[in-house]
Structure 1
């Protein structure tokens, strides 16, 4: 009886401590929001203004870019929407959207590319960000950067609101975050990064396989979440197109390939690690094909970067080690391809008339 009483007292103390911790963390997050704790706003992972990102200060709006200028008719203004791929893991000067601005300049176009990438966002967030902030920049073109690696998966998650415990409990969220830190070689936080290394891995191999394995359902033939995810993602993109069309602003989409689509070793690791992929059929171009067909049917011009990256991948590394994002070479290739696409498709015609 005495032992049971002591155990009951200990459990009561633990329960009270957890409850107090939960309350304290929620109050703290309300005062000083942190990406550690879940919320549905695209601002959750917006980087702190003024943070030092490899020697470049995050602008006052929380974007990896210079201060956004006011429209004065002297330049062709491109609003670029996207997730951490648009934000990038390389220094500002090596980001493909920074390089795109320079490449268009070499083609004789005075362009400004406004990088509005926010990590961990998805197409529905791009729509909200455009309406809330992007249109105020008076763009001449809106460029939607669609990452095959997780834009469909993140959309699928948003359709299923029953969040796991680690997203509902702030205490569990904090503990989970702390336990995952040891798996990061460089750290995954986008605030205050000091020294960049193109060759340094971001995650351990085991953690990276876990990350890509969680996303790989989009390559599984017959995945029951594909249709609904594509529908929801396309609904957001089509709304972006309609809103922009009313303002005579063209929209273009860039399909960004995941490293898994290009790396046979990663492809082979999936069925070795996951029974789901061992028993199913994988088609690593499936999402590009499906999304591309939907974009074409909607009359939205798009560039699928998969062919260019598949051609270049055997000769050079295009992604940072154990990281789903491009390294410096990958960013350069993307900028070249996008600049050529925009010019060839006449999407910069308005700039030519200036």
Structure 2
């Protein structure tokens, strides 16, 4: 006698196998998709890895290069890393930091009589982590200064660190810069240097195993934290970014001033009179250190891209800085006229970081200034150098 429904267990097992195969296929597809995304982010996102690291699970850890102290960001002494696919230049950068925490070669503890040492303080523009060391203006200037007019070996020491201001630069000078026994200290001043550092990178915290080994996980976490950070900072910090494509700053001085007001927490600070009090304090501190340790000071003013590309000249921040430099007995070099003479060419990666060609122009200008004012017998050892286009 035939039992009705007897084949049902077999059919049920068959359906279960089909479901299992489908789910297995979905898992495999998801894994393949994740692997593809991971490969894409590894190829396109900026990562900091140990110089000799290799293999498919290469570890990325920004803490290999940057440390956070109670006085701000510092480079890790003795670090040797590669920055892969830098977000500005797209280049892979070999980054070597000396025992003092500077992107420079190791120095002898005692300066020889035939040496002239120049310590260059600055932010990410000076550090130049987006370019090979030889293409940064500091190294370019050094090459042009040797041999020097008085026969001494000129050594330029790059003490730049990203996301710092004038106060942090003076801290670095006291902490480790004086150990270089500088004959001249160059302060590479950018227009937001009166403001405290923003510190977003520090908001990411120490990365765990997953973020160190997965570019996808690191980027997803960074994007989420960045969105939250921007929301917490509020509209005032970012108004200029949204407005730069909507207002005619290139042709209208009032529009540039409006853009500077919107950027008052960044480069626009230099248009706000109240921001200069912080600069005055640090320049006075620098003057005391220069007198105590017998070094000269040269202040170099770096403009924002909007100043360079306007059809008119608004150099009020430069004039304010020059007045302060002269009042303290410092030399002064204004890069705005030089860069404006090249404004038909590509000068910046973004609004402030110069491309290799611009680094070459800046290095030449700096070398010319140091040679004529500090190395040539009878030089002024200070004062402003007028650069002609």
TM-score tier after normalising by the smaller chain length: 0.5 to 0.7
Query: Could you tell me which residue of structure 1 aligns to residue 331 of structure 2?
Result: 301
Deviation at 1:78, TM superposition (A): 0.8
Query: Could you tell me which residue of structure 1 aligns to residue 193 of structure 2?
Result: 151
Deviation at 1:74, TM superposition (A): 2.8
Kindly indicate whether the alpha-carbon contact (under 8 Å) linking 1:141 and 1:347 is maintained by their aligned counterparts in 2: no
Alignment of 1:213-232 (within 5 A): 213=263, 214-218=265-269, 220=271, 223=272, 226-227=273-274, 229-232=275-278
**In structure 1, C-alpha distance between the alignment counterparts of 2:73 and 2:100, rounded to whole Å:** 11
Query: Could you tell me which residue of structure 1 aligns to residue 365 of structure 2?
Result: 337
Query: Could you tell me which residue of structure 1 aligns to residue 161 of structure 2?
Result: 118
Kindly indicate whether the alpha-carbon contact (under 8 Å) linking 1:77 and 1:140 is maintained by their aligned counterparts in 2: yes
**In structure 2, C-alpha distance between the alignment counterparts of 1:86 and 1:122, rounded to whole Å:** 12
Kindly indicate whether the alpha-carbon contact (under 8 Å) linking 1:146 and 1:253 is maintained by their aligned counterparts in 2: yes
Match for residue 135 of structure 1 among 178, 192, 198: 178
Deviation at 1:113, TM superposition (A): 0.7
Alignment of 1:1-354 (within 5 A): 40-43=70-73, 49-53=79-83, 54-70=93-109, 71-88=111-128, 89-108=130-149, 109-148=152-191, 150-154=192-196, 177-179=222-224, 213=263, 214-218=265-269, 220=271, 223=272, 226-227=273-274, 229-264=275-310, 284-314=314-344, 316-320=345-349, 322=350, 324-346=352-374
Change over 3 Å in CA distance of 1:342–1:254 after alignment to 2 = same
Deviates more, 1:130-139 or 1:44-53: 44-53
**In structure 2, C-alpha distance between the alignment counterparts of 1:141 and 1:308, rounded to whole Å:** 23
Unaligned runs of 5+ in 1: 1-31, 158-162, 183-204, 268-282
Kindly indicate whether the alpha-carbon contact (under 8 Å) linking 1:46 and 1:119 is maintained by their aligned counterparts in 2: no
Deviation at 1:293, TM superposition (A): 1.3
**In structure 2, C-alpha distance between the alignment counterparts of 1:52 and 1:332, rounded to whole Å:** 23
**In structure 2, C-alpha distance between the alignment counterparts of 1:47 and 1:140, rounded to whole Å:** 23
**In structure 1, C-alpha distance between the alignment counterparts of 2:364 and 2:139, rounded to whole Å:** 11
Change over 3 Å in CA distance of 1:292–1:122 after alignment to 2 = same
Change over 3 Å in CA distance of 1:143–1:349 after alignment to 2 = farther
**In structure 1, C-alpha distance between the alignment counterparts of 2:356 and 2:171, rounded to whole Å:** 30
Please state which structure has a larger fraction of its residues in strand: 2
**In structure 2, C-alpha distance between the alignment counterparts of 1:103 and 1:170, rounded to whole Å:** 41
Change over 3 Å in CA distance of 1:233–1:206 after alignment to 2 = closer
Deviation at 1:44, TM superposition (A): 5.1
Deviation at 1:209, TM superposition (A): 5.5
RMSD: 4.0
Query: Could you tell me which residue of structure 1 aligns to residue 42 of structure 2?
Result: none
Deviation at 1:233, TM superposition (A): 1.1
Kindly indicate whether the alpha-carbon contact (under 8 Å) linking 1:34 and 1:44 is maintained by their aligned counterparts in 2: no
Please state which structure has a larger fraction of its residues in helix: 1
Query: Could you tell me which residue of structure 2 aligns to residue 200 of structure 1?
Result: none
Which one has more relative contact order, counting CA pairs under 8 Å at least 6 apart?
A: 1
Kindly indicate whether the alpha-carbon contact (under 8 Å) linking 2:127 and 2:160 is maintained by their aligned counterparts in 1: yes
Kindly indicate whether the alpha-carbon contact (under 8 Å) linking 1:33 and 1:44 is maintained by their aligned counterparts in 2: no
